[in-house]
Amino acid sequence: MLTPEELERYARHIVLREVGGPGQAALKAARVLVVGAGGLGAPVLLYLAAAGAGTIGIVDDDEVSLSNLQRQVIHATPDIGKAKVESAAAAIRRLNPDVALETHATRLNAKNALDLIARYDVVADGSDNFATRYLVSDACYFAKKPLVTAAVGTFDGTLTTIRAHERAANGEPNPSYRCLFPEPPPAGMVPACAEAGILGALPGILGSMMAFEVIREIVGFGENLVGRLVMLDARAMRFETVGYRWNPDNPLSGKTPTIKDLSIHAR
């Protein structure tokens, strides 16, 4: 049930035919884990909190630094030196005190990822490195949880939704992250943000789109991004969407999988 205050707060959602009271109630009951409270995670967290996601988990082991503030808009100058999960939680409480928060000031690894992810209904991965993206996607597969994942470069970004634990309408398994990206690029091939730079508003665009996809996963309307990759070229402000399918040879969910647990990530 929604309280009178919640009916007013979420009035613009409730009048939407695609959301309505039932959709808003589903948001209130939902548990969402956001991996990373940085450039992508900041808008995800803010928009999920504003939308009324009932419980939001935040996992990040970093502290706020001055160079973060150019793009990580959930943090502010007085937060420098604070744990990002605590800074983000304080901002969410100011925005919507009705959201229940669970902070995890830790780095995801092969030992804790499965247990942590299993506690939530949907995962939004805004991590900034390939190792974490593969870990999160593999853990979501084993935990049977939907994953919304995005990545950004200097002037480009990608976004997709993974439900590899389920099958498509035609009976074929949904593709996994490893169907889309079989393996990470060689170390050093893709420079880190600190080396290559990034336009601050870019992760805001992709992070907002991530929040939209998470809300859509919870409420259940429209056509999701399972099997579709959105690519943004911000220099030209051009969006393209390409399809991808299950690869029967992929090592996670293929016909003869070789990845049967998260031990591959412990190496």
Cα 154 to Cα 199: distance, rounded to the nearest angstrom: 6
Residue 259 in domain: yes
Residue 49 in domain: yes
Cα 208 to Cα 150: distance, rounded to the nearest angstrom: 11
| CA distance to 33, 39, 79, 235, per residue, from 202 (Å) | 22, 9, 22, 10
Range of the domain at 156: 9-266
Residue 202 in domain: yes
- Count of the separate structural domains present in the chain: 1
Residue 120 in domain: yes
Residue 2 in domain: no
Residue 251 in domain: yes
CATH number at residue 31: 3.40.50.720
Percent of the chain with pLDDT over 70: 96
* Span 125-184, pLDDT tens digits: 999 899 999 999 999 999 999 999 999 999 999 999 999 999 999 999 999 999 999 888
pLDDT of residue 190: 64
Residue 145 in domain: yes
Residue 3 in domain: no
Under 8 Å between Cβ of 107 and 84? no
pLDDT of residue 96: 98
* Span 184-225, pLDDT tens digits: 877 666 666 666 789 999 999 999 999 999 999 999 999 999
* Span 93-137, pLDDT tens digits: 999 999 999 999 999 999 999 999 999 999 999 998 999 999 999
Percent of the chain with pLDDT over 90: 92
CB atoms within 10 A of CB 85: 24
Element (H, E) at 41: helix 41-51
